[in-house]
């Protein structure tokens, strides 16, 4: 197994809030979330604005970091990735799926880690060959 790349990203929550205000939360969500992620985001109540914002910020950061880890071997789009948070029971680590038809990508494994504190989200993605 070899490392293909490492990507990191820092997201400032006020930036995501500005994007949500400029485009509307739903338009931004449709732009960056995969179908699975969008279903989860849509299940949040409108009154849960902070939760919806953090959900988008985490996915933004993870996907930016993943792109950095895979470029130039791949040029994925926002919707090519689905990030799954830690499972409610704590038994499944966060994971990142890459949806592609590129056969080379089937031998890649992506590891994702996210941390958030206050107004910041920090994401790291490590891409390796299997």
pLDDT digits (tens, 9 = 90+) for 75-123: 899 999 999 998 778 788 888 999 888 776 668 899 999 999 999 999 9
- φ, ψ dihedrals at 125, nearest 5°: -130, 130
Give pTM, 2 decimals: 0.92
What whole-number distance in Å separates Cα of residue 112 and Cα of residue 77?
A: 17
Q: What is the model's pLDDT at position 105?
A: 63
Distance between CA atoms of residues 55 and 102, nearest Å = 28
pLDDT band at 48 (very low <50, low <70, confident <90, very high): very high
What the block records as the tokens of 114 is 């996210």
């Amino acid at each position: 197994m070899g490392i293909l790349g490492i990507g990191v990203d820092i997201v400032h929550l006020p930036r995501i809030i500005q994007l949500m205000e400029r485009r509307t939360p739903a338009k931004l969500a449709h732009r960056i979330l995969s179908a699975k992620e969008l279903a989860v985001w849509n299940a949040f109540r409108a009154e849960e604005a902070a939760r919806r914002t953090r959900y988008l910020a985490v996915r933004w950061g993870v996907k930016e970091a993943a792109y950095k880890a895979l470029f130039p071997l791949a040029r994925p789009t926002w919707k090519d990735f689905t990030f799954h948070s830690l499972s409610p029971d704590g038994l499944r680590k966060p994971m990142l799926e890459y949806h592609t038809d590129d056969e080379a990508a089937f031998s890649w494994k992506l590891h994702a880690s996210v941390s958030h504190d206050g107004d910041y989200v920090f994401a790291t993605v490590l891409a390796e060959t299997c």
